[in-house]
Amino acid sequence: MIAFGASRKAALERAELLIEALPYIQRFRDKVIVVKLGGNAMVDPALSASFAEDVVLMRSVGLRPVVVHGGGPQISELMGRLGKEPEFRDGQRVTDAETVDIARMVLVGKVSREIVSAINVHGPLAVGVSGEDAGLILADARDPALGFVGDVQAVHPAILERLLAEDLIPVVSTIGADDAGQAYNINADAVAGAIAEALHAEKVIYLTDIEGLLADLADPDSLISRIDAAALQRLVDDGTLTGGMIPKINACLQAVANGVRSAHLLDGRLPHVVLLELFSDAGVGTMITAEALR
């Protein structure tokens, strides 16, 4: 009787979770959700597997996920194996012709294939796409001193729209090209935001190695759960938020200013964190919107 009671309780809890998820599934059906994969979620095999499960479940209940990924640590690792010393200026990788070729090999040939393979364990669902494919990402040079480091000049999402129309999951590598066909390595945070804008996404989600935005870095209990763009910009301007999160914050601000309903900073070290954000009442991490929520 005790065992039966325990199993019945567990079954009821699972049923309650499914009922809790139902209105969110209905709300987000047919909506594009762009997820930027990074941090531990990319390198920890268990987290990578749980992320793949999340993406497949999203697609299975009618959402239209798009995965965007970088691969800075993997690029540095291959450069080291090839005897090439990475060089950085103001935190940005100097990218000569050899380095951009290495970046293409790593992002398109290795990292993308690993993500696609993890998703396709669950069925023929994912397709790897480079920003060079079908003119997806038009790039221009950020700074001649940095070499082939680019910024997004425009996104032409036709290839992604075709894949989504076929119920496939695009996995985007962040190599773009200019009008002459020259390849550029582009910051993945910026690419995720730009793709979300171009696809009129409901959400853009960034997986990081922290719980979200903290008002006080020394206080883990100071998590900012929800914030509007104007308030977030003030925290950047007054120096409350600094450092490595600024590129992600800027990408979030740009996205919500250009039609994306909300941007999210989530802790990718937490298994199934994307599902927790999308389909639970509590939500997790930090949610950024264009205007204050009422």
Write down the pTM of the prediction: 0.92
Instruction: Mention every residue, 6+ apart, whose C-beta is less than 8 A from residue 285.
Output: 211, 212, 223, 225, 264, 265, 266, 267, 273, 277
Q: Provide the 3-class DSSP secondary structure of residue 261.
A: coil
User: What's the whole-number mean pLDDT along residues 268-284?
Assistant: 88
Residues 6+ apart with CB under 8 A from 122: 52, 53, 56
pLDDT at 4 (0 to 100): 52
Pairwise CA distance, residues 277 & 279, whole Å: 6
Give yes or no for a contact between 149 and 143, defined as CB atoms under 8 angstroms apart: yes
- Confidence check: pLDDT of 289 > 60: yes
Pick 4 or 217 by higher pLDDT: 217
Q: Which domains does the chain have, with CATH numbers?
A: 29-289 (3.40.1160.10)
* Cβ partners under 8 Å of residue 260, min gap 6: 193, 196, 197, 200, 201, 202, 203, 204
Judged on CB neighbours under 10 Å (0-12, 13-18, 19+), 8 is exposed
Amino acid at position 147, single letter: G
Count how many residues are written for the chain: 294
Q: What are 13-40's pLDDT values in tens digits?
A: 777 778 888 999 999 999 999 999 988 8
Which residues does 26 contact at the CB level (< 8 Å), separation at least 6?
none
Residue 185: per-residue pLDDT = 95
The token duo for 38 is: 């990074």
Question: Is a pLDDT exceeding 70 seen at residue 3?
Answer: no
CA distance linking residue 249 with residue 245, whole number of Å: 6
The per-residue pLDDT for 6 is 65
CA–CA separation, 288 and 266 (whole Å): 11
Q: At residue 42, what are phi and psi to the nearest 5 degrees? A: -90, -30
Tens digit of each residue's pLDDT (9 = 90 or more) over 234-256 = 999 988 887 778 888 999 999 99
pLDDT over 80 (residue 162): yes
